[in-house]
Amino acid sequence: MKNYKTQMEAAKKGIITPEMKIVAEKEFMEVEKLMALVACGQVAIPANIMHTSLSPEGIGTGLKTKINVNLGVSGDCKNYQQELEKVKLSLKFGAEAIMDLSNFGKTNTFRQELIKLSPAMIGTVPMYDAIGYLEKDLLAITPQDFMRVVRAHAEEGVDFMTIHAGINRRAIETFKRDGRRMNIVSRGGSLLFAWMEMTGNENPFYEYYDEFLEILREYDVTISLGDALRPGCIDDSSDSSQLGELIELGHLTKRAWAKDVQVLVEGPGHMAMNEIAANMAIQKRLCHNAPFYVLGPLVTDIAPGYDHITSAIGGAIAAASGADFLCYVTPAEHLRLPDIDDVKEGIIASKIAAHAADIAKGIPHAREIDNKMAEARRKVDWDAMFEIAIDSEKARAYFESTPPEDKHSCSMCGKMCAVRTTNMILEGKTVAFYSEN
């Protein structure tokens, strides 16, 4: 019988868990080093004891940048089968985490099926689910009701939960005093803001924080401290509301660690490129080097339909500057619930950003796959290139859509291909274009 409740408690006691062994092997890291990082909170291994299909992953210092895929039904789009297809696609392309953000109806049936089949970490935002789960209007929900929903998600096997505990009365006073161009754009944050304003009460996730932590500790659920006051446009970034909440999240991080609950801290949504690196450094300082989970940041506000690109730009800079976990953004952001093609585009963009950042950070073996691609390209080995590519099917389809006359080139350059020309000269051949060699 194990004598620990959470990965953090085990690490503090010097116990190497099976999950730590798996993560250390995946990350090419000595397990003792990983254990020390888990013990001090710089690495989290979200692994609910009820999630038996999980393939554990680590998030944090010295590890590969992980990505999360958001999915789930809404009142306007209630096709659970389509959401399961998105799950399968996410797993196919190597997403390490999936967040079920369903906000309509009885979502637990879908979530239980998701947890049963998914080796990826599963996250939720209990605040989203509260209204449908409880079948109550927002004003009628009590702090005890919120606890019921959190416990239900924990019992189902959710590995990490976004809890917006930092938006307390003090944070709201700052927000209302200073104002913003886009106000509050966090769905969970806006619901809590409304509940607090309508009831006159303190944020229940803040007021009863220790009680929520006890539930999370029981199932080893990682708390993802939500950024309810994240900037929703670049003009609101790095303002008093965002940074004031971040300071509070730093205090909440230490309180969670004191109870052996692992922590992720969530970060900004929209931010100009020149502010990103500084924000990553500030977050790590204020939140004691806890793993940082960022949405984007989206580096401009004028690209609806292309926000997977604005997000990937910001995500690459953020991860290279210290962020550990990227939440994908799809082309449908700000416009609609994403369809399966949107999900694929979002995943690929986020994977590119994460991998590019890992190269920049010098993560062990990150460059190896790029070197393999370079070797395949030097040899003009198309099959090897397709196998290595992040999206093999798309790469092959593009190549075959306009086939080259010479298999040692593509239709872009034909016989003038630089690689072909150089290879021929190095092989002692003559390069000619109007006669056969």
pLDDT band at 78 (very low <50, low <70, confident <90, very high): low
pLDDT at 76 over 60: no
pLDDT of amino acid 415: 86
Mean pLDDT, residues 152-176: 97
- The verdict on whether residue 40 carries a ligand-binding annotation is no
Q: What is the pLDDT of residue 100?
A: 92
Structure tokens belonging to residue 218: 């029981």
Q: What is the pLDDT of residue 189?
A: 96
285 is in an annotated binding site: no
CATH 3.30.420.40 given to domain 7-361? no
Q: Is 417 annotated as a binding-site member?
A: yes
What pLDDT is attached to residue 81? Answer: 83
pLDDT tens per residue across span 370-386 = 999 999 999 999 999 99
CA angle 404, 410, 413 (to 5 degrees): 105
Which one-letter DSSP state was computed for residue 333? T
**Is 127 annotated among the ligand-binding residues?**
no
| 51 annotated as a binding-site residue | no
In the prediction, which pLDDT does 128 show?
A: 85
Contacting residues for 154 by C-beta, under 8 A, at least 6 apart:
48, 50, 161, 215, 216, 218, 219, 221
Q: Is 270 annotated as a binding residue?
A: yes
> In terms of Cα–Cα distance, which of 409, 420, 415, 406 is closest to 434?
415
Please state, for a pLDDT cut of 90, what percent of the chain lies above it: 86
Q: Is the pLDDT of residue 116 over 90?
A: yes
Q: Label residue 279 by pLDDT band (50, 70, 90).
A: very high
Between the CA of residue 271 and those of 237, 277, 279, 296, what are the distances in Å? Answer: 5, 10, 9, 9
73 has a pLDDT exceeding 80: no
What integer pLDDT is reported at residue 260 of this predicted model? 98
Average pLDDT rounded to a whole number, residues 45-60: 98
Q: Please say if the pLDDT value at position 164 is more than 80.
A: yes
Cα–Cα distance measured from residue 391 to residue 403, given in angstroms and rounded to the nearest whole number:
19
Q: Annotation-wise, does 227 bind a ligand?
A: yes
**Reported confidence tier of residue 34, pLDDT bands at 50, 70, 90:** very high
Q: Which residue has the tokens 């109806």?
A: 105
Is 118 known to sit in a ligand binding site?
A: no
Is 334 annotated to bind a ligand? Reply is yes
pLDDT (mean) for 158-172: 98
Closest by CA to 264, choosing from 377, 403, 360, 125, is 125
Any known ligand binding at 398? no
| Sequence spans of domains, the chain | 7-361, 367-401, 406-437
216 annotated ligand binder: no
Cα Rg, the chain, nearest whole Å: 24
Tell me the whole-structure pTM to 2 decimals.
0.95
- CA angle (148 as vertex; 147, 151 as ends), nearest 5: 85
pLDDT at 133: 82
Supply the pLDDT for residue 106: 64
Q: How many CB atoms lie within 10 A of CB 324?
A: 30
Q: Is 288 annotated as a binding residue?
A: no
Q: Classify strands 222-225 and 59-60 as parallel, antiparallel or unpaired.
A: unpaired
- What is the DSSP code string of 248-301? HHHHHHHHHHHTT--EEEEE-SB--HHHHHHHHHHHHHHTTT--EEEE--BS-S
Higher pLDDT, 107 or 393: 393
Average pLDDT, stretch 283-307? Answer: 97
Residue 224 in tokens:
């993802």
Tens of pLDDT, residue by residue over 312-364, are 999 999 999 999 999 999 999 999 989 999 999 999 999 999 999 999 999 99
CA contacts within 13 A on the Cβ side of 345: 17
Contacts for 168 with CB less than 8 Å, ≥ 6 apart:
202, 203, 206, 248
Mean pLDDT of the chain: 94
